[in-house]
Amino acid sequence: MKTSGTFNGTGAVLYVCCGFKPDWVRIQNIESTSLEAIEWSTSMRSAEIIAGIKDTGSATTELTLGNGIAHYSGGDLITAASTSYIVKDPSPDKRNAVPAGTINQWTLGNYTNKTGNWNAECSTTYVGEGSRICIRNLQGYPVMYLVTAVSSNGEAANEVTLSAAAPSGEILFLSGMYDYIGASAGIVTPAGFILAADSDVNASGEMCMFEAGTYNA
């Protein structure tokens, strides 16, 4: 079993509820200039690195118990919306998460700059750098792109930059910036892993990605 996802860094203890207790985890800050990362495995059985190894670009740090990654069994009832527990976004399509209307059309404005706009204002609470967008191409096939920048709300000419110049067409899907978001009140948390407070990798306000999986028996 393997999974991956993105989340917004908090700088605080984070419970990543990916749905199972992994055998290995890799977390990467994908916005900072140093690209800090933590790697952990159940095979790291020495006390010195039982919680993983952190690479900050300038130094490698051994992570002892309580200072890196550990299993999380889940089962906690969330009584108030939380940023400490993050779960897979239950509503990944954000085309209707707008002040008015539906985002369903893309207009290419500048081929060289890969910029254009959609037809309604997006909510920047959900949509921005890191969002994925699927646009029907000229042949009628869906093509996925990444949103690399949004200025204002994306509805005016050239306010949105994509990973490639997408021809004007129907928008079939628009994701949030992060695959994992804060848990809502009322849910019981799935299993996953704990990331201890960390201001290097899990830096507040910086996008991070993780990969996690299990070994074959």
Mean pLDDT of 40-62: 95
The H or E element containing residue 195 is: strand 192-195
The number of CA neighbours under 13 Å toward the Cβ of 130 is 20
| DSSP state letter for 144 | E
Contact 207, 129 (CB under 8 A): yes
All structural domains of the chain with their residue ranges = 2-88+180-213, 105-174
What is d(CA 83, CA 91) in angstroms, rounded to the nearest whole number?
17
Prediction pTM value:
0.92
- pLDDT tens digits along 110-162: 999 999 999 999 999 999 999 999 999 999 999 999 999 999 999 999 999 99
- % of residues, the chain, pLDDT over 70: 100
- pLDDT tens digits along 156-184: 999 999 999 999 999 999 999 999 999 99
Contact 146, 162 (CB under 8 A): yes
Looking up tokens 């998460």, which residue turns up? 97
